[in-house]
Structure 1
Amino acid sequence: MTDITAEPSRAAAPEPGAMSREWHWHPELPVRHAPYWHWPPRPLKLAKWLWTNYLQVSDRSMFLAFAFVVAFWLQPVTAEQATFQPGWIGWVLLRNYLSLIVVAGGLHYWFYGIDGQGKRLKYDPRPMSKRKNALYKFNSQLADNMFYNLASAVPIVSAYEVVFRWLYANGTLPTLGFAEHPVWFVLVFPLLALWQSLHFYVIHRLIHWPPLYRHVHSVHHRNVNPGPWSGNSMHPVESAAYFSALLLLAVLPAHPVHFLFLTYWLLLGAASSHSGYEGIWVKDKSRFLIGAFFHQLHHRYYECNYGNSEMPWDKWFGTFHDGSEEATRETRDRKRRMHGQ
C-alpha cells in the first residue's frame, strides 16, 4: 500500500493505466487482495498483513478489542439470558445503538462536521451531499442514512444477537474457550473474516439482480459518494440478509466473543469502510487505518467489486475492478448489459 505518512493530492507514481485523475487520493494501484492468496506463498508478507490489521491500531483491531470487552466484562452470556427478559435484551439494543452512534457519528463529525483533516486521505474529491434532494428520505443524505441505520440495521442485528445469547445461555450452542482449544480459538477470528467475504459476495451478487436492485439494494446505492452513516443505510430486507452472515456461528464451534467480533465487523465495520477516507490523520500522520478503496470503487461503478479485499471472489468470477481505466470500461459494459442501458 502507498505510504500514507505524507499527504500528496493522490497516491505517488501510480502505475500506467491507473485512473488517478478520478480521485483525490487512492492507495497504490492496482488494487490487490489480502496476501492469503499469493502464490507462491509469502508467509512474511501475510504475517505483516495480519499484524497490521489485527494487532496494530485499525478498525479491525478495535472491533476485536471491543468484542472481548463486551464478551468478558460489559455483558457476558449468563444464566439470566436463558429466558427472554426485557432487561438484558434492552441492554443489547442500547449497547448496539450507542456503539454505532459513537463510531458512525464520531467519524462523520470528524470528517464532515468539523472537517478535522480536510481532504487528507479522502478518496472522492466531492463533499457529501448537503443539498435537499428528493432522492433521499427527508430530502437529506445524512438524515436518510441515519434513519436506515437506527430504524432498521440496529434492531435487526440486535435481534440476531439476542437469539444467539439465548442459545448460548441454554447450552444449545457449545461454548469453546481458549483454555481448552487455544489454536482453534485464535484461528476462528481470521476464518470469520474469510467467511464474511464469501457471504458478502454471494448476497451482494444476488441483490444486484435487477428486480432486487430496484426494490431493495438501490436504497444503499443512493450513496454514490458515501459517508460513515452510509454503511448500514440499507433496505430492511438487505439488512436481514447482510447480517445473516452471523448464522455460521450456529454450526461453527466457537465462543460468544467470536460472534461479537463478527457482529461488530458487520455493523461498525460498515461505518468505517464507507467513511470515504483511507485513515484518520492527526498531527501530520495517519494514526488509524479504516479505508476500503476496494468498496469505494463499487459505489462509484456499481457492477464490480461485490465482495471485499479479503478474498479474490471478484477476480475469480470476472467482476474485479483493480482501479485501472480498462477495468472501468469493462465494468460500464457489464452494467449496460445487465440493465439495458
Structure 2
Amino acid sequence: MASTDTPTKEAEPDSKNVGPMSREWHWHPELPVKYAPYWLWPAQPRRLAKWVWQNWLQFSDRSIFLALAFLVAFWVQPVGQEQTSFSLGWVAWVFLRNWLLLLIVAGGLHHWFYGIDGQGKLLKYDPRPYSKRKNALFKFDYQTWDNVYHSMVFGATILSLFECFLRWSYASGLITTLSFSAHPIWFVLMFALLALWQSLHFYVVHLVLHQPFIYRHVHAVHHRNVNTGPWSGMSMHPIEVMAYLSAILTVLILPSHPVHMLFLGYWLMLGAASSHSGYEAIWAKDRQALLLGAFFHQLHHRYYECNYGNAEMPWDKWFGTFHDGSEEATRSTRDRKRTMHS
C-alpha cells in the first residue's frame, strides 16, 4: 500500500514513490535501486552530467562536505609550518572541531527527524518508529545514548588521530602537497577518485567484517542498529572504526592536497550520519531541502548479507551480493544468509 504523505515527482526529481514493495517499507525511492551512472554502457553523458550536477554541484550532503573541506583547508586551519611538530594547540583544535562537527550533523539530523519529529514519516524508509525504549542490547540501555557514546568516543576521536598524523605528514613533506595551479585537472578529478576509492575500500572492509568470527566480536556493535538513526552511522566497535576510517590513508600514496584529505574524512564520518538517518531527504516548507538518499545502505541494515558497498560503484552487482530492492532480491539474500550461517 502506497504512503499517503509522499511528495510530488516535480518536487523530487530523482525519486518517485511507487508504493512500498512490501509491508516491510513505509517509503522507498523508485526501484530497482540504481548505481551512480559512471558505469552505464553505452555511456549516457546527459544522465551522467545530471547526476554530477545534482550530487556534486547542487545542495546535497556531498556538496556540503566539499564546501566544508575547502573552508577548513584554506581558511579555518590550513596546514602550516607549526604542524611539523605535535603541539597541544593545533592538535586540540582538530579534535574539538571534529567532535563539534559530528555533534552538529548527527545531533542536528537526529533532532529534526526524531526529536521534534520535523517531518513525521514523510520519506521515512522503515515503518517502525525509532526506538526510544529501554533495551539491554545497548550500552546505557538506550539506542541513542549507545550510538552517541560510540560515535563521539571512538568515531570522531579516531578520525582526529588520523587527521593529525596526515597534517603532520603534509607539513613535514612526507606527503607532497598538490596545488591547483600546478595540476588543475588532477586536483579536481581527485575528489571523484576519492569517492570511488572509498567505495572499493568500504566494500572490501565490510566484506571482511561480515565473516562470522569478526562479525560476532566487532561488527555486531554496529548492526544492533536495525532501525537506524543519524547517530548509528559512526556507532562502531573501535576496531571497525579504525578499519573503516583507514580509507583516508590513501593520501599517503596518491598526490593530494589537505583539502582532499579533509573531504574524504568528512565523507566518511559525517556522511555516515546522513546515510544512516533512515530518511530519503530533509523535507521542509513543502519542498526537498536536502537529499540524503541512502536506501542502498538501508537495505543492508535490514537484510545484512547484501549491499556491502555503496551506490558509487557496482561492486555488489559484480560479486553477486547486490540487493536492488525487489522481493526477488530479498528471497535471494535470505537464502544466501541461511547458507552462510548454516
Q: Could you state the TM-score of these two structures normalised by the residue count of structure 1?
A: 0.96
Equivalent in the alignment of 1:133: 135
Q: State whether structure 2 residue 156 is matched by structure 1 residue 170.
A: no
8 Å CA contact 1:275–1:291 kept in 2: the answer is: no
Equivalent in the alignment of 1:119: 121
Q: Distance in 2 between matches of 1:111 and 1:4?
A: 22
8 Å CA contact 1:104–1:272 kept in 2: the answer is: yes
**Aligned ranges for residues 223-238 of structure 1 at < 5 Å?**
223-238=225-240
Displacement of 1:128: 1.1
Q: Of the candidates 280, 297, 308, which is equivalent to residue 299 of structure 2?
A: 297
Q: Distance in 2 between matches of 1:260 and 1:313?
A: 25
Q: Of the candidates 28, 31, 36, which is equivalent to residue 29 of structure 1?
A: 31
Q: Distance in 2 between matches of 1:232 and 1:308?
A: 16
8 Å CA contact 2:17–2:27 kept in 1: the answer is: no
Displacement of 1:126: 1.1
Displacement of 1:71: 0.1
| SS at 2:290 equivalent | strand
**Aligned ranges for residues 282-321 of structure 1 at < 5 Å?**
282-321=284-323
8 Å CA contact 1:67–1:261 kept in 2: the answer is: yes
Q: State whether structure 2 residue 17 is matched by structure 1 residue 12.
A: yes
Q: Of the candidates 262, 265, 288, which is equivalent to residue 263 of structure 1?
A: 265
Q: Deviations over 1:157-197 (max 9, x none)?
A: 10100000000001110011111110000000010000000
**Aligned ranges for residues 94-243 of structure 1 at < 5 Å?**
94-243=96-245
8 Å CA contact 2:177–2:258 kept in 1: the answer is: yes
8 Å CA contact 1:228–1:274 kept in 2: the answer is: yes
| SS at 2:202 equivalent | helix
Q: Distance in 2 between matches of 1:188 and 1:260?
A: 12
Q: Distance in 2 between matches of 1:36 and 1:191?
A: 12
Q: Distance in 2 between matches of 1:169 and 1:3?
A: 50
Q: Deviations over 1:273-318 (max 9, x none)?
A: 0000111101111111012100000000000000000000000000
Structure 1: gaps of 5 or more residues = none
CA-atom RMSD, angstroms?
A: 1.4
Dislocated runs of 4+, deviation >4 Å: 2-7
| SS at 2:23 equivalent | helix
Matched positions, count? 334
Q: Deviations over 1:125-170 (max 9, x none)?
A: 1111111000000100000000100111111110100000000001
Displacement of 1:3: 5.8
Q: Could you state the TM-score of these two structures normalised by the residue count of structure 2?
A: 0.95
**Measured at CA, do residues 6 and 188 of structure 1 come closer, stay the same or move farther in structure 2, by a change above 3 Å?**
closer
Q: Distance in 2 between matches of 1:269 and 1:29?
A: 23
**Aligned ranges for residues 48-63 of structure 1 at < 5 Å?**
48-63=50-65
8 Å CA contact 1:4–1:286 kept in 2: the answer is: no
8 Å CA contact 2:18–2:29 kept in 1: the answer is: no
Displacement of 1:44: 1.0
Q: State whether structure 2 residue 78 is matched by structure 1 residue 73.
A: no
Q: Distance in 2 between matches of 1:186 and 1:303?
A: 35
Q: Distance in 2 between matches of 1:230 and 1:286?
A: 23
| Paired residue type of 1:13 | V
| Paired residue type of 1:165 | R
| Paired residue type of 1:55 | L
8 Å CA contact 2:17–2:28 kept in 1: the answer is: no
Q: Percent identity?
A: 68
Q: Deviations over 1:198-256 (max 9, x none)?
A: 00000000000000000000000000000000000000000000000011110000100
Q: Distance in 2 between matches of 1:12 and 1:155?
A: 39
Q: Deviations over 1:79-113 (max 9, x none)?
A: 00000101100000000000000000000000000
Q: Distance in 2 between matches of 1:81 and 1:243?
A: 22
Q: Distance in 2 between matches of 1:242 and 1:45?
A: 31
Displacement of 1:13: 3.4
Q: Distance in 1 between matches of 2:101 and 2:10?
A: 29
Q: Distance in 1 between matches of 2:164 and 2:9?
A: 40
| SS at 1:94 equivalent | helix
| SS at 1:120 equivalent | coil
8 Å CA contact 2:83–2:90 kept in 1: the answer is: yes
Displacement of 1:339: 1.5
Q: Distance in 1 between matches of 2:293 and 2:341?
A: 30
Displacement of 1:22: 2.1
| SS at 1:22 equivalent | coil
Q: Distance in 2 between matches of 1:119 and 1:5?
A: 20
| Paired residue type of 1:24 | H
Structure 2: gaps of 5 or more residues = 1-6
Compare 191-200 and 330-339 and name the one that shifted more. Answer: 330-339
